[in-house]
Structure 1
Amino acid sequence: MADDPHPPTTASRPAAPGWQPPEHEVEPAYHPVQVNRPDGSWSVGRINAWWRPAGAQAWCRVRTLGRGGSAAWMPFDPDRLLLLPASGI
């Protein structure tokens, strides 16, 4: 399923494990976030890439810290991902 230009799911469900957007369309990033987990708890993590398909919702690759999770692609949802300040003041 690598480089499949169409996300396998809707915004309400995560992408299939191992799914990747086309690599040439991925923008590297480093943005700290808090992730609202399905159980209602929050974890600190970071967005390390963005994918913005034409005419569709932006997706981001998120890795949570401290729980041994691997990075996963998900639609950007401000109710689920709280962007944190990336630097100083």
Structure 2
Amino acid sequence: MGTALSAGTLTRSPLRVYQTPLSWLRGKCKGVLPLANNFFPLLQATPQIVADNDDHAWHLAERIFIKPAISVGADDQAAEQEAISRISLAVAA
């Protein structure tokens, strides 16, 4: 759910990816809430991803970068480093 990918384009600004429907609603529905597993690899096109917390960041790293790399025989350690450089944590208000 969300509007960031609905038009098929991404902005260069960080994309907020929410972990739960409640967190997405609290965030005023800005950003995305992935509802299907096949959505995660699409987020590789996003320059910067903002996660809810450490656990969520690791979950996103696995789903967006590491598992897709492993599935095609690519370097999983390089994928992990890419995830570390592209996923940050939300700042509490």
TM range, smaller chain: under 0.3
- TM-score, normalised to structure 1's length? 0.25
Q: Which has the higher helix share?
A: 2
